[in-house]
Amino acid sequence: YELYISQPASAEQALEIAEALVRSGALDAVVLDSVAARVPRAEIEGEMGDAHMALQARLMSQALRKLTAVISKSHTIVMFINQLRMKIGVMFGNPETTTGGNALKFYASMRLDVRRVSSIKDGEETVGNRTRVKVVKNKVSSPFRQVEFDIMNAGGISREGSLLDLATTEGIVQKSGTWYSYNDERIGQGRENVKNTLRDNPAIADAIERAIRERHGLPLDKPAPVEDTVSDGKTIRLPVKTKETA
């Protein structure tokens, strides 16, 4: 896969770049990070303390009208990352809201609420976060579903953590106290130790994944080739770029 990064100077420039990329049809996905950090040109050129009432909201509304028409033709996925703010004076209901007005909420086909649940530690060192994602809006399937997974500082979303959670839920891996067993053999004590076991023994991880897929009637994908990479003094496994994955 190829990743292109642009750092535009203003919100207008960012949205113009996004529209041009979507219109070209050359990319599978475009990500804007983030809506809250995109500053309109008038605010950049103005003085500190100047009032710019609803400027960002009007800009987003105009841009989304144009983007929606282009997206439907190019079939490019456009993802907007946003931040939470607190409404002032709210006594009842959820006081949280997102920046940029309501247009993005209305135009979005899917909205995901992503939150950190807890920290994952190796001794005293924080090595990742337990993350919960809830679908708060979905035009293409059922909304309000949620999932939890591990995001590691080195390596991103943990495949081993997801496999272990699914396998434990399905009874493929048995948990007794802090011990985990597979095929009546103990594979480790403690969740992080078992994740390390699966990472160091890809044959066991592949067998567990195969069992999960067979139980749900899912196709058996060929495992992607991986290679060991050293990051921050730790060895992690990352996918190898091949002709099939390029």
Q: What is the DSSP letter of 1?
A: -
Residues 128 and 212 in one domain: no
Residue 1: which pLDDT band, with cuts at 50, 70 and 90?
confident
Q: Say whether 154 sits in a helix, a strand or coil.
A: coil
Residues 162 and 224 in one domain: yes
Residues 119 and 164 in one domain: no
Q: What CATH number is given to the structural domain containing 231?
A: 3.30.250.10
Residues 146 and 204 in one domain: no
* Burial of 139 (C-beta count, 10 Å sphere; 0-12/13-18/19+): exposed
Last residue of a domain, one of 100, 133, 153: 153
Residues 219 and 203 in one domain: yes
Residues 2 and 66 in one domain: yes
DSSP per-residue codes, 5-54: ----SSHHHHHHHHHHHHHHT--SEEEEE-TTT---HHHHHS-TT---TT
61-70 mean pLDDT: 94
Residues 76 and 8 in one domain: yes
41-64 mean pLDDT: 87
How many domains does one find in the chain? 3
Give the whole-angstrom CA distance, residue 229 versus residue 51. Answer: 49
Residue 228: which pLDDT band, with cuts at 50, 70 and 90?
low
In b/e form, how buried is each residue of 196-221, taking b as 16+ CB within 10 angstroms?
A: ebbbeeeebbeebbebbeeeeeeeee
pLDDT above 70 (res 53)? yes
For the segment 190-206, what is each residue's pLDDT rounded down to a tens digit?
999 999 999 999 999 99
The edge-to-edge listing of strands for the beta sheet with 156-157 is 110-122, 125-138, 146-152, 156-157
* Beta-bridge mates of residue 133: 114, 147
Residues 61 and 92 in one domain: yes
Domain that holds residue 183: 156-246
